Chains A and B, each alone.
Chain A
Amino acid sequence: MAEAAVAGNGAEAKMRVWRGDASGGEFRDYTVPLQEGMVVLDVIHAIQAMHAGDLAVRWNCKAGKCGSCSAEVNGKPRLMCMTRMNTFEPGETITVAPIKTFPLIRDLVTDVSYNYEKAKTIPPFKPKPKEADGTRRMYQEDIDRVQEFHKCIECYLCQDVCHVIRDHDDNKPSFAGPRFFVRVASLEMHPLDTDDRLEFLRNEAGLGFCNITKCCTEVCPEHIKITDNSIIPMKERVVTRFYDPIARLLGALGGKKS
């Protein structure tokens, strides 16, 4: 790790930040004093306070827990609050751009409403009846894998890097994206859930578009194994249900959820 700069000492952060909106814009250069421990989001805030009060950026927790401050830092999709300045070379100019897959609103803020619309389409949790004693009993080993999916902070970096929509805007209406495959997996593998979302996955959600390049898994700041643990098992279920003749026969005889 390059020790770029230590507190005070006159060290500076050189930044190139996208300014503009849907009608156009440009990268602009800013220089602000660098302090020890700073993350990219701190530097963006310093630019706001010192040079550009109207620089648009989303943020909330500043601790990697809310998933608001997604951006492309030196071309890599990242949470700005978890990207330390000392991971860059001293004196390097750092480029910060908005995430590319969603329409630009202004500066570093994009219109992520696509995700909120997709969320509305997912068939909700449908629990089975309670135990005879009125409780809900689930064992830790049975929920570990679902708890992994619940770690998602909805930063939409997985959506941002997914080729299906990053390079093909016209796929958006028929593709839910990795975030929502994780969400559906969390419901499908929930020990209490009784609904069946395989038809939904195959049709509305467009699971078949995914060609498992694992780009989503690589950028996940929560290290959720999106492809291996959610997408692939669900693809297998869809194949078994809709394309395996024996399973289809058994399905017709009353089998449902695996």
Chain B
Amino acid sequence: MAGESYETHDYDVVVVGAGGAGLRAGIEAHDKGCKTAIICKSLLGKAHTVMAEGGIAAAMGNVWPEDNWKVHFRDTMRGGKLLNNWRMAQIHAQQAPDRVLELEEWGALFDRTDEGLILQRDFGGHRYARLAHVGDRTGLEMIRTLQQRAVALGIDVFMECNIQHLLMNDGRVTGAIGYWRESGELIVFNCKAVVLATGGSGKCWQVTSNSWEYSGDGMGMAMEVGADLIDMEKVQFHPTGMVWPPSVRGILVTEGVRGDGGTLLNSEGERFMFNYISDFFKAETADNETEADAWYQDKKNNRRTPDLLPRDEVARAINAEVKAGRGTEHGGVYLDIANRRDAEYIMRRLPSMYHQFKELADVDITKEAMEVGPTCHYIMGGVRVDADTSATTVEGLYAAGEVAGGLHGANRLGGNSLSDLLVFGRIAGGSAADYALGAAAAAAPDAAEVDRLTTLMLEPFTDRGEENPYAIHMDLQRTMHNLVGIIRTESEMLKAMEEIAVYKERAARVKVEGGRRFNPGWHLALDLRCLLGVAEAATLSALECKESRGGHTRDDYPDPDSKYGSVNVVTRKQNGTISVSLEPLPEMPEELRKIVEEQV
């Protein structure tokens, strides 16, 4: 199939992905004077950011003047079990307020305090009410604001264009190749820098809050060109996904329900979270219901309710309750706000949740408890980046948002993702632009390499076998759910590796029916490459990491081990094989260590 035709576009900076990070990166690169393209797999404004519900974490101090970046930094580090890249956590906490205010300059309308400022809500692991929000549809406000800003600036957007591979020249990334979903025609971008803002890989797992787009593209493509990935075993299972009916299993129920007063109950009606307060959080968590309930109004004299412990803690607790036979009929636990807040308050604060349960599950959350359970939500690990520039370990390649690793350590706090997108989207776009403005023009892509990649992309149309791409994907999701899920053990993960190897062989024999024009079967056949690559990297990392911490829990190594307390688990692909190594975390300066260790 050599000589397959393709169109070519030249840019300074190409941003892959148009969620919060991609749009913010594109805006920054454009503002620095670069000819910039934003490329997205879906229509503009449909990226996963649109589904974010609870809010953007930023220590603006509008509700609690005591809040400041140091407290946010401390919460983020402790929530991440200190495995975070300290410098990213510092930059993030320091810059998040400006990024939120910037959205307001671009037209966003956040809910207000009585004084007319941006209102902030409570969320898990945050000491103060810190999340700027719009009811429970904050992501929609954010993506729409950024989208409209990008349109107003006239930035070129390539919609429904799926980037498949990065192009290299002389050891630096100089472009990307993919296809138009509508026509199936191939497209090549030549550029000086690429920003990956492709989100995560939650579609490797069966029960997930993630959409089809979360196929690990950025992590997979980065790995292919030799970039380091870190901490791929750290996967966040959000404690509250819907569990019933089966067709909606995994759809997210915002942490805002608990932030606004909702509480978790087992089938015996017990607020079981009081039984799961780990030593790490004992000093700052309420140990009785009276104090927990009083905390919502008076944070100075009361400790935080255990319902709002970090997500990894709550997900494990729910898992344990269900396992102990105290789960609901459909294998979850109850999340009750109906008996805690009045209907008017619930409707105002959580309109999407009301709508979602009413329409999809026939449950009125102002009258009944919800049934919830853990759902794969977020990958803390990702492409290794430099904290100050978002540069990956490959020249000309930058990464921001969920695709990048480091900021969240072993566990991400709710609300820290939207702020991550804004803070590091801007930094990545700016650094890519700085690099592009100083870099020599990229040489034209190597024709033989382009031929090789176009052949690879069109291979599923050749007569290679009878495998169904949908079946392979479902099998992979089942494997990851059953064998590399919330609780892991060596023998199961070794089995997962064997199964992944089989899926790789099957993927090489995929049969695609139909032609190249908007063909989801073909698209999925191609997505399998990154899905399988990322699943393999996550499983290998999880095997290597013989301890339990944050979003990685081992049945055979149930406790944290100091050996893993100050290292990243690094995966990198060389000569077609993925190697795993432990590499030390950057050392935190003394003044920041004091902030983190300070008792409150």
Residues of A participating in the B interface, judged by any CB pair closer than 8 Å: 7, 21, 35-39, 42, 48-49, 52-68, 82, 84, 105-107, 109, 111-112, 116, 119-120, 124-125, 127, 135-140, 143, 146-147, 150-154, 187, 190, 192-193
Q: Is B169 an interface residue (CB 8 A)?
A: no
CB–CB A37/B115 < 8 A = no
Complex: how many Å from CA A68 to CA B211? 12
Complex: how many Å from CA A143 to CA B141? 13
Complex: how many Å from CA A68 to CA B47? 10
CB–CB B520/A55 < 8 A = yes
Known: A59-B212, A68-B46. Contact between A53 and B360, CB under 8 A?
A: no
CB–CB A54/B111 < 8 A = no
> A39 is contacted by which of B116, B117, B247, B517 (Cβ under 8 Å)?
B247
Known: A54-B522, A60-B213, A105-B518. Contact between A137 and B117, CB under 8 A?
A: yes
Residues of B within 8 A of A127 (CB): 105, 107
Complex: how many Å from CA A105 to CA B139? 29
- For the complex with contacts A48-B521, A54-B521, A124-B107, 11 further pairs of A-B residues with Cβ separation under 8 Å are A37-B244, A39-B360, A53-B514, A55-B520, A63-B248, A65-B51, A65-B139, A107-B518, A127-B105, A137-B115, A150-B140
> A124 is contacted by which of B144, B152, B469, B518 (Cβ under 8 Å)?
B152
Q: Is B361 an interface residue (CB 8 A)?
A: yes
CB–CB A49/B518 < 8 A = no
Number of A-B contacts (CB under 8 A): 167
CB–CB B246/A35 < 8 A = yes
Residues of B within 8 A of A147 (CB): 109, 111, 134-135
Residues of A within 8 A of B248 (CB): 37, 62-63
A5 to chain B, nearest CB (A): 12
A227 to chain B, nearest CB (A): 21
Residues of B participating in the A interface, judged by any CB pair closer than 8 Å: 42-48, 50-51, 101, 104-107, 109, 111-112, 115-117, 134-135, 137, 139-141, 144, 148-149, 151-152, 159, 182, 211-213, 244-248, 251-252, 352, 355-356, 359-361, 468-471, 474, 512-515, 517-522
Nearest opposing residue in chain A for B118, CB measure: A136
CB–CB A116/B148 < 8 A = no
Of the listed residues A48, A60, A65, A150, the one surrounded by the most CB atoms of chain B closer than 10 A to its CB is: A65
Residues of A within 8 A of B149 (CB): 124
Contact sample, A vs B, 10 pairs, CB 8 Å cutoff: A36-B246, A49-B474, A56-B517, A64-B359, A68-B43, A105-B182, A105-B517, A112-B43, A116-B159, A138-B116
Known: A65-B140, A66-B51, A137-B117. Contact between A53 and B517, CB under 8 A?
A: no
CB–CB A64/B141 < 8 A = no
CB–CB A187/B251 < 8 A = no
Residues of A within 8 A of B356 (CB): 63-64
CB–CB A65/B137 < 8 A = yes
A69 to chain B, nearest CB (A): 10
B506 to chain A, nearest CB (A): 15
A78 to chain B, nearest CB (A): 11
CB–CB B245/A36 < 8 A = yes
Residues of A within 8 A of B106 (CB): 125
Residues of B within 8 A of A39 (CB): 247, 360
> B247 is contacted by which of A37, A65, A138 (Cβ under 8 Å)?
A37
A141 to chain B, nearest CB (A): 9
Complex: how many Å from CA A35 to CA B251? 17
Complex: how many Å from CA A65 to CA B107? 20
Residues of A within 8 A of B512 (CB): 53-54
> B518 is contacted by which of A48, A56, A140, A143 (Cβ under 8 Å)?
A56
> B251 is contacted by which of A57, A63, A139, A146 (Cβ under 8 Å)?
A63
Residues of A within 8 A of B116 (CB): 135, 137-139
CB–CB A61/B42 < 8 A = no
Residues of A within 8 A of B244 (CB): 37
CB–CB A60/B46 < 8 A = yes
Nearest opposing residue in chain A for B250, CB measure: A62
A114 to chain B, nearest CB (A): 12
CB–CB B514/A37 < 8 A = no
Nearest opposing residue in chain B for A111, CB measure: B182
Complex: how many Å from CA A106 to CA B105? 40
A118 to chain B, nearest CB (A): 11
- What 5 A-B pairs come out closest when comparing CB atoms? A37-B245, A54-B514, A53-B521, A137-B116, A125-B107
CB–CB A124/B148 < 8 A = yes
B458 to chain A, nearest CB (A): 15
CB–CB A66/B517 < 8 A = no
Nearest opposing residue in chain A for B147, CB measure: A119
CB–CB B211/A62 < 8 A = yes
A55 to chain B, nearest CB (A): 7
> A140 is contacted by which of B44, B112, B471, B517 (Cβ under 8 Å)?
B112
Residues of A within 8 A of B517 (CB): 21, 56, 105-106
Complex: how many Å from CA A53 to CA B159? 22
B206 to chain A, nearest CB (A): 14
A51 to chain B, nearest CB (A): 10
Residues of A within 8 A of B211 (CB): 59-62, 66
Residues of A within 8 A of B105 (CB): 127, 136
Residues of B within 8 A of A109 (CB): 182, 518
Complex: how many Å from CA A48 to CA B212? 14
CB–CB B117/A135 < 8 A = yes
CB–CB A63/B360 < 8 A = yes
CB–CB B212/A60 < 8 A = yes
CB–CB B522/A49 < 8 A = no
Residues of B within 8 A of A62 (CB): 211, 248, 251
Nearest opposing residue in chain A for B182, CB measure: A105
Residues of B within 8 A of A7 (CB): 245-246
Known: A57-B520, A68-B43. Contact between A150 and B109, CB under 8 A?
A: yes
> B42 is contacted by which of A60, A140, A152 (Cβ under 8 Å)?
A60
CB–CB B247/A56 < 8 A = no
A53 to chain B, nearest CB (A): 3
A210 to chain B, nearest CB (A): 22
